[in-house]
Chain A
Amino acid sequence: MKNLVFFIYKYYVFFMFLAFEFFALIVLFRFNNYQQASFLNYTSSTSSAIFNTMNSTTGYFNLKTLNDSLQLENARLRTQSLQSFYQNGITKTEVNDTLFKQQYVYISAQVVNNSISKRNNFITIDKGAFHGVKRFDGVICPNGVVGIVWQVTPYYSLVQSVLNSKSSTGAKIKKTGDIGSITWDGSNALFAQLSKVNTYVPVAVGDEVVSTAQSASYPEEIPIGKIVKIDRNPEKNDYDITLLIHTPFSRLKNVYVVRNLFKESQHAAETKALEEEAKQ
């Protein structure tokens, strides 16, 4: 016993080093494996407040471009709103509208922290569980898709950006409707990769790629990018396509969290189908 104490005392620096490394790795593995990030909950209140202050100072620099893009979006939405349609016939108010049932709810949010040059990029936004944000909700901006909500705290959320090695966004080619999957190889924040598109699909450079509602996180046809390069994958029977991303990740400011009100029922249907398949 005495020897052991002496041994630990002699090499206490080494044991301290081991303990600290162990602590760091446990925190990291927990974050990568578990849903609840206690660390994030613990630190986000202070660091987010600091990011907020920093943002309110730098926010003025690109106010003009932001206003322009918001105005454009407002104009587009105004044309789509009910008031811009001429109503032919007698209006009838019905509380329980069975023909139109609200599927998507949009929550506007501000980006408080963002990175584009890491291998795994995350975005912090200033809306959280209190505002109705849930895990795996989609996040879009006026120009296109941004990412998926990854962690939710009461007042902030962490969004896994499309620019993340673990992100895989369901997408389709607008012209043909064929689906594929968007990933990011980490080399350039302007370009993403579209894979799993079969070689029989007639794709061309310049085609638009949009989101698909199959993933249940994004609504149908939110723009993602434009095809700039098409390579044939010799091993598999599909294409390696490079996209120019529409979303300006480097100056992201105003985003919307998309809450799909039908998501739970879609997932329930899908898991039920899988369970039945497993039984057979």
Chain B
Amino acid sequence: MILDTLNYLLRFVLLVFFQIAIINNIDLSTYVNPYIYIAFILSLPYNTKPWVVLVLSLLIGMTMDSFSSLPGPHIAATVLMGYSRRFYIMFSTNKDDQNAPIKPSVSTKGPIGFLIYALVLVFIHHFMLFFLEAFSFNQFFSTLARIFFSTLFTVLLIVLGQLLFYKIAKK
């Protein structure tokens, strides 16, 4: 239990650091802004208490917001994603799994299952985030394009990271 908590604490710090120090400095295009820190919320065990998920979403959202120049969007987007996660899990897994400490990943959900799980939740997060950042519905379609491409990149990076760490953990 304590080991698990430490593991998640380390994950929190590493993901935030990776996001701020590396990903935020890669300016690929205005249409590609991946936000991989949400992998933290995605990887919480199924049986995490809903309020814990929400509080953690708020914390990581606030951390990201304090490193960005616009306060608010990351909190709103991550909390929305943390809240929606519960419904997706209820909908996609059986009762026994929901109450077990299973960590959603490529190895536990299978590649397709994890991919859909990540795509849906990352899309929800990015949808909220990018519209709040733009703060208007002008250029609706360019914001949508931004959401679409960034979602693809975030999911790609999260899955790659999972595969990498899965290999290391296996060794």
Contacts and interface: CB of A to CB of B under 8 A. Distances in A.
Interface of A: 12-13, 16-17, 20-21, 23-29, 31-32, 37, 39-40, 43, 46-47, 50-51, 54, 58, 113, 115-120, 122, 124, 158, 165, 185-189, 250
A117 B27 contact: yes
Given A117-B28, A117-B30, A186-B142, A24 B75 contact: yes
Given A12-B51, A47-B67, A186-B139, A28 B132 contact: yes
A115 B70 contact: no
Contacts of B133: 118-120
6 contacts: A12-B51, A23-B75, A43-B66, A47-B66, A120-B135, A187-B142
Contacts of A189: 27, 30
Given A24-B79, A28-B72, A54-B21, 10 more contacts: A20-B57, A28-B71, A40-B71, A43-B71, A115-B27, A117-B29, A117-B32, A119-B134, A185-B139, A186-B139
Contacts of A116: 27, 30
Contacts of A31: 70-72
Contact of A28 (B32, B58, B73, B83): B73
Nearest to A22: B76
B71 A118 contact: no
Contact of B83 (A17, A115, A119): A17
Interface of B: 20-21, 24-25, 27-33, 50-51, 54, 57-58, 61, 65-67, 69-73, 75-76, 79-80, 83, 86, 130, 132-136, 138-139, 142-143, 146
Interface residue SS majority, chain B: helix
A20 B79 contact: yes
Contacts of A17: 54, 79-80, 83
A25 B69 CA distance: 15
Mostly helix, strand, loop or mixed at chain A's interface?
A: helix
Nearest to B136: A165
Contacts of B50: 13
Contacts of A24: 61, 72-73, 75-76, 79
Contacts of A46: 66
A188 B71 contact: no
Contacts of B72: 24-29, 31
B70 to A, nearest CB: 7
Given A17-B54, A117-B27, A37 B71 contact: yes
Contacts of A250: 27
Most chain A C-beta atoms within 10 Å of own C-beta, residue among B29, B57, B61, B66: B66
B169 to A, nearest CB: 29
A40 B69 CA distance: 8
A20 B54 contact: yes
Contacts of B132: 28
Contacts of B67: 47, 50-51, 113
